[in-house]
Structure 1
Amino acid sequence: MKKTLYTAEATATGGRSGHVRSADSIIDLDMSVPEGLGGKKGATNPEQLFAAGYASCFQQALLVVAGKANERLDPASTVQCSVTLFQDGEAYGLSAVLNVDLKGMDPQKAQDFVNKAHQICPYSVGTRGNMEVELQVAGQAANVTPANEEASA
């Protein structure tokens, strides 16, 4: 049964060269095409906001997974997310790389935690089958467990 936990609201004006504001005004930012594509310095872009949200959400999923395993993550553990904007013919798309560094954790256990987090993270669930997402553990490609295998395990 689906239960709504939270709904975020934001309004954009002017597209990539405009402004975005959340309903509570906590986010109140000028937007720009990425600087490398001719945009202005000092403004954010949708890819940066998506990367920040995905990294934060995935880190929280890792904390949930660790808690269920009665483990604590090293506070210095990180999730770095790179979001790439690409063009494919007339269409545009996104891909992401999540590089997870669970400081001091056994690599096999870290791999297991990353796979489990990828199954429950709302960003991972929402992008699954819609965009390419590469998982890395400490900079090395992770072996991803397909969602249907994890669900039946």
Structure 2
Amino acid sequence: MKKLLFILCVVLIGCKGTSQEKAESKAGAQDKKEHFKVSKTEAEWRKQLTDMQFYVLRKAGTENAGSSPLLHNKEKGVYTCAGCGTELFKSEHKFDSGTGWPSFDREIKGNVAFDVDYVLGYARTEEHCATCGGHLGHVFNDGPRNTTGKRHCINGAALKFVPKK
């Protein structure tokens, strides 16, 4: 009985908890953010962005479903990063996913970068602006089958819309 208890203790002590992994990946994400073309201090971002934009772009937050004025936007144009103005998505690739967030079936190649987050306890593909590192949302494999099959689920607060001239 003592041997069994000893073995159980050794196994439990030797296990690496997921909280350590999350701390490591957050630290790694902070390192990556310093290598973007556009880099500002937290104070500079706070001065430039609204509270919601700051929460989403700089703190990887999520706006409430259905709250974005861009959700039902049908105009032709381009969606840019609210932080740095980088063109991220074209209006012709936007579709109504029924999720409550602006959704696109593809990004403008090279302007959106991807990473994996475990915030909900499982792997999700996170999207961020490749120029400033601002958090945009996540990409899923349940988009339109007749195009890419991808659903880029994006926080409207992370975007600005520039109408086509």
Same fold per TM (> 0.5)?
no
**Larger helix share, 1 or 2:** 1
Larger Rg: 2
Q: Which has the higher contact order (CA 8 A, sep 6+)?
A: 2
Sort the TM-score into its range (normalised by shorter chain): under 0.3
